[in-house]
Structure 1
Amino acid sequence: MAPQYKLIMTTCENQQDANQLANQLVVLKLAACVNILPAVESVYMWQGEVVQHTETKLFIKTKSEKLSKVINTIKELHSYEVPEIQVLDVTGGNLAYFNWMDEVLN
């Protein structure tokens, strides 16, 4: 049986972009909650060069059935040409929290 809940990670260029994306996901009932970590230092290769700068990290909590809509919304609203979208299966946790997610996302 596939996990019922997902944790999606992405980064945004700045706090304002992260806030807009998080708010849109919650308003559309695609995410029950989005945690925003305002300062994450990232180092990566982009177009043949090493890039290092501060980004804003998002942890998006959702249900498996909403995953494709969350991914499409991130791609649609994101300022990056190739946004990070990593999906983790949630295999356990606080049942009361999952019940709350079910209520919020219905």
Structure 2
Amino acid sequence: MRAGLWVAGLLGGAAMAGTPDPGQVAVGDQLYRQLCQRCHGYRLQTSGAASFDLRRFPAGDRRRFHDAVMHGKDQMPAHDDILTDEDVAALFAYVVATQRELTR
């Protein structure tokens, strides 16, 4: 089931080129505050010195985001034991939506 949701998320990736779903962004916001904000900063506002600056993450690279969150990258731990593919899709929607807000 999880793989099916991820495939559906990938197929829906074209929608990410438009406006992220507000419901998904809200879920992603909550997850970001709980799991990501400590290292990546409030609303992605970090110097990037200690962790990757998510303001610069490519908005079209959902698979790379998914892989980094689920399997870890550099100093970031894997989260595949606590997050679902839907959770990661919501986090990605939050990151993309926040990037757009910050660049307005």
Give the TM-score range, shorter chain. 0.3 to 0.5
Structure with the greater alpha carbon radius of gyration: 1
Higher fraction of helix: 2
| Structure 2 length-normalised TM | 0.33
Higher fraction of strand: 1
